[in-house]
Structure 1
Amino acid sequence: MAAEGSRYTVEELASKVGMSPRNIRAHQTRSLLSAPIRRGRTAYYDESHVRRLEAIKSLQRQGYNLVAIEAILGVRSPEPAGEALELLLQRLGREQPGLVHALARHGVLVRGENGSVEMVRSRLMRSVVGLNRAGVHTVPSLQMLSEVLDRLRLIAEDLVRSTGQRIVSATPTLRAGAMSTWDELDTRTDLLTNSMIGLLTEAFRVALENFGPTAMPDLLAEWGGESPLHPHGSPTIDIG
Structure 2
Amino acid sequence: MTAESPRYTVEELAAKVGMSPRNIRAHQTRNLLGAPVRRGRTAYYDDSHVRRLEAIKSLQRQGYNLVAIEAILGVRTPEPAGDGLHTLLQRIGREQPVLVQALARHGVLAHAEDGSVQMVRARLMRTVVELNRAGVHTVPSLQVLAEVLDRLRIVAEDLVRTTGQRLVDGSPTLRAEATATWDNLEGTADALATGMIHLLAEAFRTVLENLAASPVATVDNG
Scaled by the length of structure 1, what TM-score is found?
0.83
Counterpart CA distance in 2 for 1:92 and 1:216 is 31
- 1:43 equivalenced with 2:24 (yes/no): no
More contact order relative to length (CA 8 Å, sep ≥ 6): 1
Which residue matches 2:7? 7
Q: Determine which structure has more spread, i.e. the larger CA radius of gyration.
A: 1
Gaps of 5+ in 2: none
Q: Does the Cα contact within 8 Å between 1:6 and 1:47 map onto a contact in 2?
A: yes
Which residue matches 1:91? 91
- 1:210 equivalenced with 2:210 (yes/no): yes
Which residue matches 2:164? 164
Q: Does the Cα contact within 8 Å between 2:131 and 2:141 map onto a contact in 1?
A: yes
Q: Does the Cα contact within 8 Å between 1:72 and 1:110 map onto a contact in 2?
A: yes
Post-superposition offset of 1:176: 5.0
- 1:20 equivalenced with 2:20 (yes/no): yes
Comparing 193-202 with 47-56, greater Cα deviation is found at 193-202
SS in 1 for 2:43: strand
Which residue matches 2:56? 56
What percentage of residue pairs aligned between the two structures are identical? 72
Taking a change above 3 Å as real, the CA distance of residues 177 and 37 of structure 1, as seen in their structure-2 partners, is farther
Which residue matches 2:118? 118
Counterpart CA distance in 2 for 1:97 and 1:213 is 37
Q: Deviations over 1:112-162 (max 9, x none)?
A: 111211110000001011111122111011011111111111111111111
Gaps of 5+ in 1: 225-240
Comparing 120-129 with 164-173, greater Cα deviation is found at 164-173
Q: CA-atom RMSD, angstroms? A: 2.0
